[in-house]
Amino acid sequence: MASDRLGYLLKHVLAELTEAQTKALAPHGLNGRDLAVLSAIVSGEPLSQLEVAARLRVDRTSIGELLDGLEERGFVERRRSPEDRRRNVVVLTSLGQSTFETAEGVRLEVEREFLAPLAAPDRFRDELRLLLGE
């Protein structure tokens, strides 16, 4: 049976989680990919567009389109780096920061509800990280 195959199970679990997150994030003007980009930007020192792409493991064409959309909605800005005037960095705007904080809370709640049927959700996450070699 297809439902015995790990790939099938992982694909369909991801699809259901993605659907739940998409519905929950929509009122905040974001989707899961947008939130991942904001998360990469907020997580430390200012990053260039290429560094954001590398952190998310997406190609530079995709990240450009994602950042364009976030910039159009006022969540991010591209600026000259104060340390290196030849370098541009991507930063969150105040709207981006507040939206990220709210949306991240929404994401965590969706994940908590999604994993609630499991006996040990934290252990499940740890085991997934183990499979990824983290």
Cα gap 32→22, rounded to integer Å: 6
> Is a pLDDT exceeding 90 seen at residue 91?
yes
Contacts of 126 (CB under 8 A, 6+ apart): none
Q: What is the pTM of this model?
A: 0.84
- Note the pLDDT tens digit of each residue in 61-82: 889 999 999 999 999 999 987 7
